[in-house]
Amino acid sequence: MTRVCNYGAEINRYMELTGENILKEWKKPLELFHEKEIVRICAPMVRYSKLPFRCLVRRYGCDLACTPMIISDSFVQSVKARDSDFTTNLLDRPLVVQFAARCGKDLADATEMIVPFADGVDINCGCPQRWAIKSGYGACLIKNPELIQDMVQQTRQRVEDDFPVSIKIRIHHDTRRTVDMCQRAEKVGVSWITVHGRTIEQRSEPCSLETIKLIKDSVSIPVVANGDIKCEADINDVRAKTGVNGVMAARGILTNPAMYAGHDSLPLQCLQDWLDISLSLGISFTHFHHHLMYMLEKILSKPERRVFNTLRSIPAVLSHLENNFGITMTKDFEIG
């Protein structure tokens, strides 16, 4: 049904090498919201928030991680799509799977398939890309709150009461419409709401913390702030100004996967961990290289970045990292 990487003796070997007890009981998402002052979440990112990166950020203070956005109808209909889009393992918990859907049945069918392997499902109601909106996915859904309600209700009928169903939204220009949409979603059983504090049209403008606070004050379920979360100071500022229960980082955590552990800049150990985890689990050169391009963005000078970006193979990248940073893949670090 889906590629699920399970390890036996390899897990014990991993724990011996790292000193991590990865088989300890993980906290379910709603337990995290109940117990923690602020839940730190890795955003769903197309191409980027795949298994190796999720495993990396979990080592650096990330409480909850999301898959990239998955198209629900393709996931249901195609074995190839399932094998391509969803891979997980024993290290990858708690995990929320994000689906893009345009009808309740597709979402409910897809959710049923991932329930044994995940700790929640999220409905993408915020992707502003033209192809998504043209196809009826993502941010266009905020203009159709009745459809959001129907998708939540149909999915709720297929899962246990304690299995979370959340939504990730952008905001309307009219904040009253946004609040009304969130309140209606709460009434049909949404577990929490992630709010990207920009409208569909906005890209780099500052997030509206005022709107996020208004939503938080208008519902009784957890609210997560998304947008412009790049360091611990941002987390503290957003929490103080909005009272949210969680924060979700995208670009910030790509540049510094250790940000949730309180590192304002990327520690070299994080680069080391990326080599070990990604190459052990298996990764395409493109994804391996692109992640490093983000991580090295603030470390390398512009001329140095140009050189690094021209590298075209994993051996070339490894040689570059060894020559410039003294970093090599840890010998015997293999978990698969």
Amino acid at 324: N
- Number of Cα atoms under 13 Å in the Cβ half of residue 128: 13
Consult the annotation and say whether 250 binds a ligand: yes
Cβ-proximal residues to 316 (8 Å cutoff; 6+ apart), any chain: none
Consult the annotation and say whether 188 binds a ligand: no
Consult the annotation and say whether 46 binds a ligand: yes
231 is catalytic: no
| Calpha distance 227→204 (Å, rounded) | 9
| Calpha distance 81→75 (Å, rounded) | 5
| Calpha distance 171→191 (Å, rounded) | 18
The Cα-based distances of 96 to 32, 43, 64, 67, 171 in angstroms read: 13, 10, 8, 7, 22
Consult the annotation and say whether 289 binds a ligand: no
Pick the catalytic residue: 62, 125, 127, 207? Answer: 127
Consult the annotation and say whether 98 binds a ligand: yes
- Chain center to CA of 60: 14
Consult the annotation and say whether 239 binds a ligand: no
56, with CB counted inside 10 A (0-12, 13-18, 19+), is buried
Question: What is the DSSP code string of 62-130?
Answer: --EEEPPPEEHHHHHH-HHHHHHH-EEETT--SEEEEEE-SSHHHHHHHHHHHGGG-S-EEEEE----H
Are the CB atoms for 114 and 97 separated by under 8 Å? yes
Per the DSSP assignment, residues forming a β-bridge with 224 are 194, 246
Consult the annotation and say whether 118 binds a ligand: no
Binding residues for FMN: 44-46, 98, 196, 250-251
Active site residues: 127
Binding residues: 44-46, 98, 196, 250-251
